[in-house]
Structure 1
Amino acid sequence: MNYEGSGHGLARFLAKARQGQGFTVGALGGSVSIGHGLKRGMRYEQSAYSELNMHRIVFDYLDKLFPAKNGRQIGGDNTKRGANRFVNGAVPAIGSDYFAMCFGHHIPEDVDLVLVDMAINDGFSEKGAESYETLLRHLLALPNRPAVINLQVFALMFQTIATGGDIHQGISSYYDVPTVSLRNLLLPIILQNSSYGISYFDHPPGTTELDREGLGTRHISAKGHGLIGRLTNAFIDMRIRDLVTGLYGAELESRLVPETPREQIRALQRFNTYEAIPAIPPKCLSAHSRSPTLIPSTNKGWFKYLIADQPGSIVSFDFVTAGGLVQLSVYRSHNAGLGTAACWVDDMKDKRVIIEARWDDLVSIGYTVTIANDLEDGDHVLTCELLEETKDPQKKHEFRIIAVIR
């Protein structure tokens, strides 16, 4: 464990689960969460719900401990009332700057427990900390006041061992969100014997050395999933023991347990005792949801999942803002042949923002860019045009839009 927390959130969830009326577990994360690395050749729709997936391991354990009268439901859009339900909302190459506002497209609003995995994709940056905090605030404010557990996986292929998960640690503890760390257990052993780590990462068959430079240490294997899944289940067992022994009170099911106030000041702001921070409802038009909501109002040259590769391709989206802000989530990569686009709001082309999708960072990831932050509340139009200029060495131009966030 990195941080156990007070246990109040998980205790509320467990009190509900043991009533047998059904509960919902949701998962948010990137390629690790969706199961990349579980088994070569396995499609994402299979790996996301595989019994080998770390999130599924946790759900299966809870379902075994607290079976619901109406059975269980794995995935699916139609809710089976009174059943234990698991929904994996992970999206490859996506971090918390997308999920902070777009999580509602991927897990149900009535979720009771959310398993979060953002440690790798957020990167070691203040930007990642800000979006991770926003995500936690939104999740904890959902109608069922869900419990949240941060599953901190790790990778060894980047410039530093430290990742976004190290910054998340302080934010998680501020909001009393427990963190289960795979790195704390596994890395000291790997440092003593690097060959030991091979089986815990997605290496090609026959590998005898830990690949620290390539993708072989970015995604944990089925063995890695199994380990962090069991660690999380062991932590849940601790909380069940506390619940049974009356640590949280004998009448937990019928009374409120102290929880983090929704208007609590943010960790990433100056301390004060007079300013309440109201919840800002997340608003997102996504091309990556099961039923895409990012529908162009005009479109020339952009195709499925809102991709364009011909300079001059132009697309527009209608949106409504109630805070003056609009952001665009795009895919950025070093080696995917990506180009450059210009985006602006309404007829303010002179204030256009240039977005270079090809960057020097070796990480391929979704990235959120602010297009405007001083708009009047109401209806607006966001327009993006693929430019002739490109930073790609081979002069390629592909550009991928993930979401409009406002």
Structure 2
Amino acid sequence: MLLHRFPQFDLVRSTLRAFWTIRQASLLSPSVALQCHQYIQYRCFGKSMWLRDSAFGSALCTSYTAPALERSRLFSGTGARTRRFLDVASRRPVKVGILGGSVSACHGVDVDSMGKSCYARRIVDWMRERLYNGKEDGVIASNGAIGGMDSSYYAFCGTHHVPQDVDLLILEFDVNDQPYLNYTIYFDQLLRIALEFPNEPAVLVVGAWGPQLSFDYGYMDPSVTHLPAVQYYDIPYISIKPLLYVHHLRYAHTVGETFWTKDYVHPNAAGHKVLGDLTIAYLEKQLCLLNHFGVLNETALGGGPTVRTLGSEPVNDTDSFELIRLPPTPELVHNRTDDGETTDVAYPLLPDPQERISTLRLATPYTVPPTIIGQALSELFSPWKPDAPLRTPPPPHPFCADANDEAHPLTPRTNTVVPTAGIVVEVAVAEGRVAVFYFRSETYSPGVAECWVDDNRKGAVKLHGHWNKKMNVPSVAYIDSLVTPGDHYVTCEVVDETANPSAEKPHHFRIIAIMAT
């Protein structure tokens, strides 16, 4: 009933229209289409900015409503890095990298990961047409996606699959990651490494949710592990899940066969179009913001023009990147003691009047937080002691030994099938953590292996290739976290234990990479 009363919220009908050949069916009223068109192309910060028309914006608005586009943005953030990327693209050719699993590899749609129906190709084609008047050499795309891989692999081995001089990096891991806290840590490491690439690229996370995920996790799929990280690093996150999840509950068969392949994991060509369109709509909005407001100011605290605030203190120009504007007078804070006495104490924003400012600021809108998302702050400082310079942990220096590492390649014996078979791999350790990336499946990997560092056989960690989930994907496991910095070696050996003694290869165990930080 509500959908009939409020047709602009009928996300399924508006989305399906993009793929039905009966184009004459009017699913959106002209007023709703205009609202969406203004939202994409003209409404920046709620103000009507009548910029030149966009054929892309018009096309999107014939298929999607403004609420649909808004809901697809799990996190928008400031858009600072995206706008800076678009600004760079106005002056020179750019490089775009894609990392992800089989969705980004375009499994089930095209053997070419950058085929015309693949979401990544749609985004790149938009950039070429919108920013470079159709010139293909304006955007150099590198798709490093590998089927079955998750963010834990790329957190260590990502530089093997995408150039480090990219200007934009697109990440897609909502299908292959798992909704557990450790994957937030892996995703955090991947984001930190990407943001510190030489060109300080913009990063865009896209979510290709599939119905099969809901069979295992309901709505609590891997996106719940990604959201804290994108919020922490101010990275936009676009997903098809908010548009289609509720409608999949009601029309599971229709929605499933319309947007996904038969496995209900991989989007079909229609699903790729939706994911590409939603991402393009976000980029259209950021381009609008850039054209009217420009990039966000990079003036750092303590530099640039100054103004007078609080009556005396000079600070940066008010165009600096502002988070929270505070009152220009000290706040009165009401305190109640344990014995019932009350006092009113005036607290300045900062203890030193010369440092007191009226705005909380970051050094720039592109600042990378100094600590990882899971850092226990008790290890760095005490709020009960005087302020002191922050003792920040060193940046991650990932090490990856896999088939793509010429210096430390894994041999064919990594696909082990009999007890006592094993490998020895040299690793370089910086922060002390060593991990094994191995294949897990309900059917194809019944073997068990033990892995350890150097001669610490007593500290070996047992890894099981079998699990009860329907998905066949790799998984990462730390085997040591207290290894001294320097060169070491890792040994992995198949043991006699198996999850399926009657299998054709009961001890089959597959290692993909040995990794360290």
Give TM-score scaled by structure 2 length. 0.67
Asked if 1:166 is matched to 2:238, the reply is no
**Residue from 335, 351, 367 that aligns with 1:261:** 367
| Structure 1 partner of 2:277 | 230
Shift of 1:286: 2.0
Paired with 2:182 and 2:456, the residues of 1 have a C-alpha distance of 27
| Structure 2 partner of 1:193 | 251
**Residue from 479, 504, 507 that aligns with 1:397:** 507
Asked if 1:220 is matched to 2:277, the reply is no
Shift of 1:276: 2.2
Greater shift, 224-233 or 321-330, is seen at 321-330
**Residue from 432, 436, 443 that aligns with 1:335:** 443
Larger radius of gyration: 2
| Structure 2 partner of 1:37 | 108
Paired with 2:440 and 2:155, the residues of 1 have a C-alpha distance of 18
Aligned residues: percent identity?
A: 27
* Correspondence 1:66-105 to 2 at 5 A: 66-67=131-132, 71-72=136-137, 83-105=138-160
Calculate the aligned-residue CA RMSD, in Å.
Answer: 2.5
Asked if 1:243 is matched to 2:282, the reply is no
Q: Deviations over 1:267-303 (max 9, x none)?
A: 323456834243122221122x3x655425xx7xx44
Paired with 2:406 and 2:135, the residues of 1 have a C-alpha distance of 31
Q: Is the 8 A contact 2:445 2:510 kept in 1?
A: no
What one-letter code is carried by the residue in structure 1 that aligns with 2:216? Q
Unpaired runs of 5+ residues, structure 2, are 1-72, 300-319, 322-363, 382-386
Shift of 1:71: 4.4
Paired with 2:460 and 2:431, the residues of 1 have a C-alpha distance of 19
Asked if 1:309 is matched to 2:406, the reply is no
Greater shift, 386-395 or 268-277, is seen at 268-277
Q: Deviations over 1:150-205 (max 9, x none)?
A: 101112223222211122122212211111110111223333323331110102xx
Asked if 1:177 is matched to 2:261, the reply is no
Q: Is the 8 A contact 1:332 1:366 kept in 2?
A: yes
Paired with 1:164 and 1:32, the residues of 2 have a C-alpha distance of 15
Distance 1:267 1:372, change over 3 A: closer
| Structure 2 partner of 1:77 | none
**Which one scores higher on RCO, CA 8 angstroms, separation ≥ 6?**
1
Paired with 2:285 and 2:486, the residues of 1 have a C-alpha distance of 50
Paired with 1:250 and 1:381, the residues of 2 have a C-alpha distance of 48
Greater shift, 3-12 or 312-321, is seen at 312-321
Shift of 1:260: 4.0
Shift of 1:381: 1.6
Distance 1:391 1:61, change over 3 A: same
Give TM-score scaled by structure 1 length. 0.84
Paired with 1:93 and 1:400, the residues of 2 have a C-alpha distance of 13
What one-letter code is carried by the residue in structure 1 that aligns with 2:266? H
Give 3-state SS (helix, strand or coil) of 1:245's partner.
helix
Paired with 1:220 and 1:357, the residues of 2 have a C-alpha distance of 27
Aligned residues: 367
What one-letter code is carried by the residue in structure 2 that aligns with 1:59? V
Give 3-state SS (helix, strand or coil) of 1:66's partner.
helix
Paired with 2:269 and 2:135, the residues of 1 have a C-alpha distance of 30
Give 3-state SS (helix, strand or coil) of 2:217's partner.
coil
Shift of 1:84: 2.0
Greater shift, 328-337 or 393-402, is seen at 393-402
Distance 1:251 1:307, change over 3 A: closer
* Correspondence 1:77-156 to 2 at 5 A: 83-156=138-211
Greater shift, 375-384 or 218-227, is seen at 375-384
What one-letter code is carried by the residue in structure 2 that aligns with 1:88? N
What one-letter code is carried by the residue in structure 1 that aligns with 2:125? D
